[in-house]
Amino acid sequence: MIQSSSVLVEVIPYTDDASIKSISGDLNSLGNRQDEIERKKNEILMLKSCLAMKRLKLSVVINDLKNYCFEHIESDQLISAPKDDPFKTKRRCSLF
């Protein structure tokens, strides 16, 4: 920067195309690095939430699932189909 009496002048050096491409490449790598940092922060948050989860023994979970299934067996459409199924094809009388 050059300062004369009351005028402040900034001297900008001449840059060729190669140095401009180098600068833009540096900016792209900086953006990629920031993206990578953001991804790593998100991964750390996810791992912290997984760490905070309450763990149960598999045998306890299996017993709970079995009990739930047995308690709700009457309302399960796959086990006991409804008697008034509107999509069931009607049988017709046919003579041979």
Contact 80, 73 (CB under 8 A): yes
More reliable by pLDDT, 12 or 41: 41
Residue 36 lies in a domain: yes
The pLDDT value recorded for residue 68 is 92
Number of independent structural domains in the chain: 1
> In the prediction, which pLDDT does 45 show?
95
CA dihedral of 64, 70, 73, 79, whole degrees rounded to 10: 90
Q: Is residue 15 part of a domain?
A: no
Q: Per-residue pLDDT tens for 65-95?
A: 999 999 988 888 777 766 776 677 777 766 6
Residue 8 lies in a domain: no
In a domain, 93, yes or no: no
pTM for this model (two decimals): 0.38
pLDDT of residue 57: 94
Q: Which domain holds residue 41?
A: 21-75
Domain assignment of residue 71, yes or no? yes
Q: Is 53 within the bounds of a domain?
A: yes
In 13-77, alpha helices (H): 17-52, 58-71
Asked whether residue 47 is domain-assigned, the answer is yes
- Predicted local distance difference test score (pLDDT) of residue 73: 87
Task: Tell me the per-residue pLDDT of 21-67, one tens digit each, with 9 for 90 and over.
Answer: 666 666 667 778 889 999 999 999 999 999 999 999 999 999 999 99
